[in-house]
Amino acid sequence: MTLPVIIDQPDLSTVAVSGTVDAVTVVDKVSQSNAFVFNNATSTWEEQRTPTTLVFTSIATSGYNTIWTPAAGKKFCLMGAEWHLRVTSTCATSSEFILDDNGTTVMEMCSMGTTTTGNSGSVTFPGNGYKSVAVNNPLRVRLTAALTAGGICVTVWGTEE
């Protein structure tokens, strides 16, 4: 049976859980950890991950630029990213800046004209982040046109599992 539940933790304030959930599962998770998130894709509770990998890089070449290669037999789990165009960045034609999971577009970060100044942004993925579609896939940044001046500084963070 599923039901809406409110869990009273012994040494913390009451945590309200929205929606319908299996109360036994929630109580088990609360006793193991105080941080958990609901995964809508699998309809299950998961312990909230803490980022263990932080990657900094700068990119100016067109095509696929690998920025994170997980350890053999692992998937990356991308929890967030941010990017900054250094000073004034220029390219011969307009360019798109795309986060890529070995051929699968994770998200379009930004589009830039032939001259772009000061474009930046960030994203934090909901729940436990974006998990790679396959083991050993690298996280890449794709630029559709090379920069002729400047560059894009990229920072990503997450875990491997």
pLDDT digits (tens, 9 = 90+) for 111-137: 766 666 667 788 888 888 999 999 999
Give me the amino acid identity at 103: G
**Residue pLDDT, tens place only, 10-57:** 443 444 444 444 544 545 545 554 688 887 778 888 888 889 999 999
> Which domains, from first to last, does the chain contain?
3-47 (no CATH), 53-160 (2.60.120)
What is the SS3 assignment for 23?
A: helix
Q: b/e for 16-42, b at 16 or more Cβ within 10 A? A: ebeeebebeebeebbeeeeebeeeeee
